[in-house]
Amino acid sequence: MRQMNFVAQVLEKANPQKHFWLSRGRFSKLMLDNNLFKKGYSFPKINDLIDVATLQQIQDWAAITAGVSVLIRDAEGIPVTKASLSNEFCNLISGEEHINPECRESNIKAAVLAAKAGKPQKYTCYAGLTQFAAPIQIDGHFLGTIVVGDRPTEPIKPEKIRELADRFNIDFDRLMEASKSVEIWSDETIRNTVNFLYTIANTLLMICYQGYHLNKNVQELTALLEISHILNSTMGLQEMLDKISEGIVKVLNVKASTIRLLDNNGVELVLKSMYNLSPDYLSKGPVILEEHPICKMALEGKTSIISDVTNDQRFGYNDAAKKEGLHTMLCTGLKSRDKAIGTIHLYTGEPHEFTQDELMLVQSIANQVAIAIENAKLYEQSIEKQRMERELIMAGEIQSELLPKASPNIEKFDLEIKFVPCSQLSGDLYDFISLDNKKVAFVIADVSGKGLPSAILMATTHATIRAAAKDDIQKSSKIISEVNSYLCEYTRTTEFVTIFYGVLDAEKMTLTYTNAGHNPPIIIRDGAGVFLEQGGIPAGIIRETNYSEEQIELCSGDTILLYTDGVTEAMNSEKETFGIRRLMNIFQKNYSKNSEEIIKIIYDRILDFLGDAPQSDDLTIMAIKVK
């Protein structure tokens, strides 16, 4: 019971830590040659599972209890502990400063036999001493051997002692005396001792491995929770990718990682994020899909692994990988809604064989990352959309400042206007410009296109008309010509403006106007309607255009209706437009009413006509009635 308590106490000191990759020493080569463990297979060493000092305490206790020498070697044949309870005879043969090569060779052969058999094996060393080597295994994985013995099954003969003394230059009498202290082993003692130590060693390390595995699972779970938190956050795309690059390295205990996304043409995998790779390596060159079949396969849904990127020609940058200290690469695709969007590359610094659990973990993370990337893109697009909407609102507010807030009071004229923009920014323009006490210029215009470009063109046209109209001596045709010249010079060839520019003269009771391609206003006198079409083509198309003007004498009761194409081209759910005939008919029936009533009736009829169909264009209606 006291011995078991001691074991329990030292077990509490076990300290599981990191992964390792097997080296290529002589012992490892022997083990590989006998297919006893896989090269590059990621499995912990003995000293990863338990603190060496703690293991030495347990070994010393076991050696004293069994009365035999005990030594533990790792999977590479390297001693993990110092030999416990070694006898004087063996110490003389093996030497003080270093282990005799023949002793080491005997230990290796005994260990190989034990590992190959999967159970304790008896072996007689060159000195005639019996050794037993027992494999230390966990779930079929070979971790090392416990070597027990250095005791003969019968007394050592003087002839053998003489041979050893001469071979290793040891005093014969001293070696003979040391041999007398070496106890003889019986078969029963041998079996009981070896089985006892074999059971102790494997049970001890299995318990430690369970703790190690639990600790590793906790670390992985913690890292996965961190990744999950990242994936579900509202951080920007670049910040998220950088954190994922680091997090996946920690989860899988690899050296480095990269995340690459397909460019818009689907030709190149563009580096978006990396972890633990040097600038020199990252400047190695582009990753073109046609030149990297591994990446192409990953995008098709097949996780690919290159065991040695320093030699495999499929990798493409062998020298750069060797200089960077990379060895094994895993490449898996990122797919969102069945669409390939990029890849994740993982790199190890040592040979590594990814387990099925690791592959499943990588794929699970990749699936979540792909969704998160798309969500992050949508989030950034949403932020950008909100920013643009705010800017559009601000631009719309600035634009609205350009338009008159109310209709002007003009002697002998009743004038009203209604403006209904389709969105924050409008392409319609109207304005009133006081020329003197008796004259007022009015403008209704419609710029080509929609959105911000048309709003800018609208503001440009507004400023140009006002600048040209500052001299009231100029004719309306001259003003439109100047506006046309400016627009042709400073706007794109695809941009143009339809403009109706008129001047009301309250003293002479005349209307002088020029129509530059605008929807022709209607003037009704005594129930008869006439279109005001004199002028020319829209401004901004041909610089050398000659515009004409017309002057009309006005009488009491005359009513003029001006409008933009948002009125006549308003379309209902049946794809039918409001049209000029419908507008003329409504106007002729109601022209005797005042301007405000006329506009209200026309607008209400447009709304009735549209029904559930949305307004698709800016709408401006202006009515002028001669008192």
Please tell me which of 194-203, 230-239, 284-293 the model is most confident about, judged by mean pLDDT. Answer: 284-293
Cα distances from 424 to residues 454, 568, 607, in angstroms, run: 12, 21, 20
Phi and psi at residue 4, to the nearest 5°? -65, -40
Residue 291 to residue 273: CA distance in whole angstroms? 21
- For residue 250, is pLDDT > 70? yes
What confidence category does residue 136 fall into, taking pLDDT thresholds of 50, 70 and 90? confident
Q: What is the pLDDT of residue 350?
A: 92
2-213 and 403-626, same CATH topology: no
- Strand arrangement, sheet containing 528-531: 413-420, 619-626, 559-563, 522-525, 528-531
Cα distances from 131 to residues 69, 188, 191, 325, in angstroms, run: 9, 15, 12, 41
- Average confidence (pLDDT) over 131-136: 82
Q: What is the pLDDT of residue 540?
A: 94
β-pairing, 535-536 vs 510-516, is: parallel
- Average confidence (pLDDT) over 463-483: 85
Q: What is the pLDDT of residue 215?
A: 72
Span 27-59, pLDDT tens digits: 444 444 444 444 444 577 888 788 888 888 888
Just give the CATH number of 232-379: 3.30.450.40
Q: What is the pLDDT of residue 36?
A: 43
Q: Dihedral sign, CA of 418, 419, 422, 423? A: negative
What confidence category does residue 144 fall into, taking pLDDT thresholds of 50, 70 and 90? confident
Q: Are 467 and 431 in contact (CB under 8 A)?
A: no
What confidence category does residue 271 fall into, taking pLDDT thresholds of 50, 70 and 90? very high
| Per-residue burial over 344-363, b = 16 or more CB atoms within 10 Å of its CB, e = otherwise | bbbbbebbbbbeeebeebbe
Percentages (nearest 5) of helix, strand, coil residues in the chain: 45, 25, 35
What confidence category does residue 234 fall into, taking pLDDT thresholds of 50, 70 and 90? low
Residue 289 to residue 298: CA distance in whole angstroms? 10
Give the SS3 label for residue 381: helix
Residues 6 or more apart in contact with residue 290 via CB below 8 angstroms:
267, 296
Span 88-99, pLDDT tens digits: 888 888 764 445
Of the two residues 243 and 598, the one the predictor is more confident about is 598
Domain map (residue ranges) of the chain? 2-213, 232-379, 403-626
pTM: 0.51
Q: What is the pLDDT of residue 100?
A: 65
Span 483-533, pLDDT tens digits: 999 999 988 888 999 999 999 999 999 999 999 999 999 999 888 999 999
- For residue 460, is pLDDT > 80? yes
- Give CA torsion, residues 427, 433, 439, 445, to 10 deg: -10
> Could you tell me which CATH class the domain 403-626 is placed in?
alpha beta
The amino acid occupying position 203 is T
Just give the CATH number of 2-213: 3.30.450
For residue 68, give the nearest of 120, 10, 141 by alpha carbon.
Answer: 120
What confidence category does residue 539 fall into, taking pLDDT thresholds of 50, 70 and 90? very high
- For residue 303, is pLDDT > 50? yes
Q: What is the pLDDT of residue 29?
A: 46
Two tokens, residue 448: 């080509």
Q: Tokens 């990718």 sit at which residue?
A: 241
Q: What is the pLDDT of residue 223?
A: 65
Q: What is the pLDDT of residue 9?
A: 41
Strand-pairing partners, residue 32, are: none
Mean pLDDT for the chain? 83
